[in-house]
Amino acid sequence: MSRLVTTVLPAPGPRVSVSLLHELELDDGRRVLLLDDRGFGSTASWSQVTRADVERDARTCVGPDEPFGDRTADDMARDHWAELAARAGVPAPELAALPHDVELHPDVEARLG
């Protein structure tokens, strides 16, 4: 295992709207899909957001999620990493310790202000 990668893919339109692919990259370059059901949007236009904004929001959206009810942040993180680790077939602590890179699709790069 070498890293976690979140790829930011654009949706059509003048407003910020993206979908995210969250993957585990293996040492040989192959990737294992962890999440493909996340994304975010905004009423802002692309000219109003920066690469740093998109990277921050992408990392936030792929989790761990915010605590709710009587759940703590530690509960949420533990369950998040356990679920992703089960999908990838790897130990959760090792997965959680990997660096997390965000890659922007070229169309997203071109739209940034």
Q: What pLDDT, on the 0 to 100 scale, is given for residue 60?
A: 96
Q: Say if residue 89 is exposed, middle or buried (CB neighbours under 10 Å; 0-12, 13-18, 19+).
A: exposed
Q: What is the DSSP letter of 107?
A: H
pTM of the model: 0.93
Q: What pLDDT, on the 0 to 100 scale, is given for residue 14?
A: 81
Computed over its alpha carbons, how large is the radius of gyration of the chain? 15
- Quote the CA–CA distance of 86 and 32 in Å, as a whole number: 12
Q: What pLDDT, on the 0 to 100 scale, is given for residue 51?
A: 95
Beta strand 100-104 with 15-25 is: unpaired
Give me the average pLDDT of each 10-residue run along the chain (113 residues).
96 90 97 97 90 96 96 97 97 97 96 83
- Quote the CA–CA distance of 88 and 74 in Å, as a whole number: 21
Q: Say if residue 18 is exposed, middle or buried (CB neighbours under 10 Å; 0-12, 13-18, 19+).
A: buried
Q: What pLDDT, on the 0 to 100 scale, is given for residue 95?
A: 97
